[in-house]
């Protein structure tokens, strides 16, 4: 969204307004008098610009600004930023990575979020709104944008702000913004993973962002671990779509790593029976989702049939009819398979398995291409007699009309 800082007054009037605001919350007139002394009464010219700049910074602290209401806070902070940009010559100088005004803003962020019915206390979303204005006000190529973005993520993390508020607006453009601001590849990767890890829900949208990101950026082992943990903590069962060529290459290079080995087996539909305790993952959750994928793989491996008796299913997946029915229902809910079960004759009618083709898995790719080839041959054969069928149908229609 576009950023707008609207100040109608001349600089001296803006400084005067700022002094009155701070004096008002402190029930004083001291600052207004001090600020007035920096101007020539007749010419309105600034007598001591460095001194005035110093005074603005000294008084625009959290101890003063947090006395403002939430409604007053943002326009006041925009006023301060405008004054400083006029005094220092540009927003770039005011909003650099060592910016005191940004540090002051961070210190205004509440440590405890106010209640919804609290209309007075400053809210973290107001802090984010100001940072958003700063970000949009800077040129696309400004390296200061990088610092603003990391500050936004830090505020979200510290304040437990709903991730969905920033997921779309930031996630869809984060890499582009960082690239335009000439961030290094390491900076881009560091900020991207910091952004992704803010998603406590491990949403499907974030998985898609990871997929897009890794298609263009390599992964070291630490970054690969972040991807794996995020994917396995997600409620999405089949995360094999994450294994693009870049991820497949990283998995291969780090195949001896315990967590990497686990993830490789998981995405290929191999049954997981244990999870490394050091991973921080829920063993029960991973193993349950693994059974769903293993069932999908079992159906794929038996693609010459579509009706299965309960007793044909490996006992490692389900040891009872009830257990198999529960597994089937969970698999259908997870979107891995489609079909209908018949509890009376204990059979399952398979309609479809949503196949997972994984980059780097040559055996799986070869088999899937063979399936495609066979399907095309069947289709070709079905068209072989199409002319005869059409002619016969036409003759039947003519004969019926004559009768």
| CB-based contact 358:268 (threshold 8 Å) | yes
φ, ψ for residue 66, nearest 5 deg? -75, -5
Calculate Rg over the CA atoms of the chain.
Answer: 32
- What confidence score (pLDDT) does residue 275 get? 95
- What confidence score (pLDDT) does residue 45 get? 87
Cβ atoms within 10 Å of 296's Cβ, excluding its own:
21
For residue range 32-59, what is the model confidence (pLDDT) as tens digits?
Answer: 999 999 998 877 789 999 999 999 999 9
| CB-based contact 280:262 (threshold 8 Å) | no
Q: Smallest Cα–Cα separation from 60: which of 16, 106, 22, 110?
A: 22
- What confidence score (pLDDT) does residue 303 get? 83
Cβ atoms within 10 Å of 148's Cβ, excluding its own:
23
Element of type H or E holding 350: strand 347-353
- What confidence score (pLDDT) does residue 30 get? 94
- What confidence score (pLDDT) does residue 393 get? 65
Q: How far is CA 186 from CA 143, 171, 206, 318, in A?
A: 14, 18, 20, 46
Separation of alpha carbons 322 and 313, rounded Å? 12
Separation of alpha carbons 185 and 217, rounded Å? 8
Q: Print pLDDT tens along the chain (403 aa).
A: 344 444 445 899 999 999 999 999 999 999 999 999 999 887 778 999 999 999 999 999 999 999 999 999 999 999 999 999 999 999 999 999 899 999 999 999 998 877 666 678 899 999 999 999 999 999 999 999 999 999 999 999 999 899 999 999 999 999 999 999 999 999 999 999 999 999 999 999 999 999 999 999 999 999 999 999 999 999 999 999 999 999 999 999 999 999 999 999 999 999 999 999 999 999 999 999 999 999 999 999 998 899 999 999 999 999 899 999 999 999 999 999 999 999 999 999 999 998 666 655 555 555 554 554 555 455 455 555 666 666 666 666 656 666 5
Distance linking the first and last C-alpha atoms of the chain? 73
- What confidence score (pLDDT) does residue 1 get? 39
The contacts found for 81-88 with CB under 8 angstroms, 24 or more apart, are: 81/5, 81/134, 82/5, 82/7, 82/14, 83/11, 83/14, 83/15, 83/18, 83/56, 84/53, 84/56, 84/57, 86/11, 86/14, 87/11, 87/46, 87/49, 87/52, 87/53, 87/56, 88/53
SS3 sequence of 310-347: HHHCCCCCCCCHHHHHHHHHHHHHCCCEEEEEECCCCE
Residues across the chain: 403
- What confidence score (pLDDT) does residue 389 get? 61
**DSSP track, 128-146:** HHHHHHHHHHS-TT-THHH
Helix (H, G, I), strand (E, B) or coil at 352: strand
Give the DSSP letter of residue 5.
Answer: -
Cα 357 off chain centre by: 24
Q: Smallest Cα–Cα separation from 287: which of 269, 268, 274?
A: 274
pTM recorded for the entire structure: 0.83
């Amino acid at each position: 969204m576009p950023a707008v800082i609207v100040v109608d007054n001349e600089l001296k009037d803006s400084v005067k307004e700022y002094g009155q605001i701070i004096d008002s919350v402190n029930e004083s007139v001291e600052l207004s008098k001090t600020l007035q002394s920096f101007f020539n009464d007749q010419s309105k010219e600034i007598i001591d610009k460095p001194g005035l700049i110093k005074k603005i910074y000294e008084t625009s602290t959290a101890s003063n600004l947090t006395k403002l209401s939430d409604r007053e806070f943002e326009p006041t902070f925009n006023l301060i930023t405008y004054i400083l940009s006029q005094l220092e010559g540009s927003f770039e100088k005011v909003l650099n990575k060592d910016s005191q005004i940004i540090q002051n803003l961070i210190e205004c962020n509440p440590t405890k979020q106010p209640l919804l019915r609290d209309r007075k206390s400053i809210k973290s979303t107001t802090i984010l709104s100001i940072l958003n204005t700063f970000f949009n006000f800077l040129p696309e190529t400004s390296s200061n944008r990088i610092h603003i973005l990391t500050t936004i993520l830090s505020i979200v993390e510290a304040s437990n702000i709903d991730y969905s508020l920033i997921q779309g607006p930031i996630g869809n453009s984060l890499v582009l913004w960082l690239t335009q601001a000439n961030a290094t590849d390491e900076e881009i990767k560091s900020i991207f993973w910091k952004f992704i890890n803010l998603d406590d829900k491990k949403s499907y949208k974030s998985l898609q962002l990871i997929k897009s990101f890794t298609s263009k950026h390599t992964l070291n082992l630490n970054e690969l671990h972040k991807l794996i943990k995020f994917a396995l903590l997600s409620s999405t069962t089949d995360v094999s779509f994450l294994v693009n060529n870049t991820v497949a290459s990283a998995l291969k290079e780090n195949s001896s790593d315990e967590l990497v080995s686990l993830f490789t087996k998981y995405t290929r539909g191999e049954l997981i029976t244990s999870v490394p305790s050091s991973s921080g993952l829920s063993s029960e959750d991973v193993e349950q989702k693994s059974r769903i994928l293993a069932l999908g793989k079992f159906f794929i491996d038996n693609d010459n049939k579509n009706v299965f008796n309960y007793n044909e299913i490996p006992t490692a997946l389900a040891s009872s009819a009830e257990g198999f029915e529960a597994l089937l229902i969970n698999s259908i809910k997870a979107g891995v398979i489609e079909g209908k079960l018949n509890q009376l004759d204990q059979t399952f009618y398979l309609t479809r398995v949503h196949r997972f083709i994984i980059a780097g898995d040559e055996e799986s790719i070869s088999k899937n291409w063979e399936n495609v080839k066979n399907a095309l041959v069947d289709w070709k054969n079905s068209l072989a007699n199409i002319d005869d069928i059409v002619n016969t149908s036409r003759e039947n229609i003519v004969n019926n009309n004559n009768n």
